[in-house]
Amino acid sequence: MKKPTFLLISLFTVLAFAACSDGLDNIEYDRTSDVVVATPQVAATTSTSLTVTSSVTGNLNNVVMKGFCYSVNAQTPTIKDNIVEADENFSATITGLSGSTSYYIRAYAYGNSRYTYSDVLTATTESLSLNEQLENYVAPTYEDNYTGIAGWDQRSKWNLANVHDPSVMKADDGYYYMYQTDASYGNAHDGHGHFHGRRSKDLVNWEYLGGTMTDTPSWIKTKLNEYRATQGLDPIENPSYGYWAPVARKVSSGKYRMYYSVVIDNYIKTGATNTTANFDNSWTERAFIGLMETSDPAGNVWEDKGFVVCSSSDRGMNEWTRTSTGDWSGYFKWNAIDPSYIITNNNEHWLIYGSWHSGIAALQLDASTGKPLSELGVPWDITEESTYGKLIYKRGATSRWQGSEAPEVIYNPETGYFYLFMAYDGLAVPYNTRVARAESITGPYYGINGADITTSNEILPIVTHPYKFNNSYGWVGIAHCAVFDDGNGNWYYASQGRLPENISGINASNAVMMGHIRSIQWNSQGWPVVMPERYGAVPKVAITEDELVGNWEHIDLSYSYGKQKESSNMTLAADHTITAGTWKGGTWSFDAEKQILTANGVELCLQREVDWEAQPRTHTIVYAGYTTSKTYWGKKW
């Protein structure tokens, strides 16, 4: 949503009258006031604007400013959101809005170093036809290089900045809620809780909510040291904790669960923190997955329900020795990180977890408690089908350090398959996403090439991969995804994306982690195809054949470790031939009903999306598709 052009001027005026001078967090609101501000009323409505009025009574001599604040997300907007100043009649027109969209609006008066707000008005803009919506479409304007607002005091402006390992669910109130690993540029989140959340009504504008966990649950240290006592090891008094990769799901109306990972980064033998100097010829300690629940994600208050599962080993209780820091023959078989939670079509509850060590396990849960259905037993000497879970995937037949992580499992009732999404390789640059599918939650899972991935075959197809369109730095590190739907048959893929390394003028550019949302289409073979450009709520006007004629940026997204796959030119001629590019000499056809482009024999799903590399950003047409061995992305230019 585009802010009025005079917003910056208004903010400077606001700050000049603020009670404190070190940021909006210190402006005083709604204290004992000698004025009363009336709830706004709508005077006029169009598809892109709302004219609103209000009034103020009381000691008007102290009022130096009046206006309206509004938001599509925040139900009680403040001046930290969008604002427009009022005229002398306490009236203003809010412009640059989207059609058929509800906005929360409050009037405010400023004086005596304080703001007084009215009650909230919810007002909806008029509708437009799809063609009119496309004609009036305004692309998102937020900066991908968010380093200028990365600090904690700028968090109200983050939108999708500082996102890592997201999980997304849709709640009863119509909002999408996103939660994540503790990570941010410059560690801005440190000291402000864990598993930070945000929410959105439209998947484009996100409101930051803060940490969902204030302190590390005490049960983690207790459980850790219970195991250590059994092993004959000294307790660790001050464990080094890491907070990783939650997954959040709606269980039923008014009930939501979040499974989270807490990793203990101390050596097993001595309990020393994980540094090269402290290396004691042992592996680092186990990770734990815990559970929180809430009935109100908007309130962002979660009740901890305690222990679910921990890292477990198929070796003996004390067979945790390690020859060197270069020895990757991991002690743990199932690594208790990166949970994915799914309620199946027959109402079974499953936790899918494990990364890097020896593969991915599926653990059945008790639907009523969210805890394991069977008693776990001790976390050593386990088998591949133990109470700690059943193996459903491993990368490589023998390696215990597999370069794959972050399972995400969903079920699509339209295709009748379970889909297992996996992240491959190191997260800084090479990160890429794969997908396989199965008829049962526990497999076997097969790739698009027919390979049974349970028996250590590589997963194909590639869903995302480092890439670069023209006029941009492109993106790397695109994986550890959340896959979710809106309840109306529309599916989405969320992940972080990182800027490439060593971009001139951006300090630690690869540490810039922007949340990415992409649409998913389903091809004729029932495989999820992720669109190459990020989602921007572009109106879904049917694409016509004439629009396909012209120049495209085409990317062969086949696997190349750590390399950004760059686009090349491809031209579709009006006579249905391909006259330029790697497919030159081929032909193309178009299925208008299914919105499918077939080029050089490859089925490509089409969609209108944002051209994020254009200046200014606008809408365009993109495609994505698979063969049994390759993935292709493209966009019209």
Instruction: Mention every residue, 6+ apart, whose C-beta is less than 8 A from residue 219.
Output: 290, 304, 306, 307
| pLDDT computed for residue 10 by the predictor | 34
Task: Compute the distance between CA of residue 450 and CA of residue 446 in angstroms, rounded to an integer.
Answer: 6
**Can you list the positions of beta strands (E) in 281-431?**
287-294, 303-310, 340-343, 349-353, 360-365, 385-386, 389-393, 404-412, 417-424
Q: Map residue 511 onto helix, strand or coil.
A: helix
| pLDDT computed for residue 113 by the predictor | 87
| pLDDT computed for residue 352 by the predictor | 98
Domain boundaries, the chain: 7-127, 216-402, 545-636
Q: Which is nearest to 564 in space by CA: 496, 423, 630, 470?
A: 470
| The two domains 7-127 and 545-636 share their CATH topology (first three levels equal) | no
Per CATH, the homologous superfamily of domain 7-127 is Immunoglobulins (2.60.40.10)
b/e sequence 355-371, b meaning 16+ C-beta within 10 Å: bbbbbbbbbbbeeeebb
Determine how many CB atoms are found less than 10 A away from the CB of residue 434.
26
> Is pTM beyond 0.75 here?
yes
DSSP state of 607: E
Look at strands 28-29 and 114-117 and give their pairing.
Answer: parallel
Q: How many C-alpha atoms does 47 have within 13 Å on its Cβ side?
A: 12
Helix or strand (DSSP H, E) at 208? strand 207-210
Fold of the domain built from segment(s) 545-636: Lipocalin (2.40.128)
DSSP state of 278: T
Is the peptide bond preceding residue 616 cis, with omega within 30 degrees of 0? yes
**Can you list the positions of beta strands (E) in 156-196?**
167-170, 176-179
| pLDDT computed for residue 560 by the predictor | 97
| pLDDT computed for residue 24 by the predictor | 42
| pLDDT computed for residue 524 by the predictor | 98
Q: The tokens 């479409």 sit on which residue?
A: 137
Q: Which residues of the chain carry a pLDDT beneath 50?
A: 1-28
Per the CB < 8 A criterion, the answer to whether 94 and 86 are in contact is no
State pLDDT tens for residues 623-636.
999 999 999 999 99
Look at strands 565-566 and 114-117 and give their pairing.
Answer: unpaired
State pLDDT tens for residues 210-238.
999 999 999 999 999 999 999 999 999 99
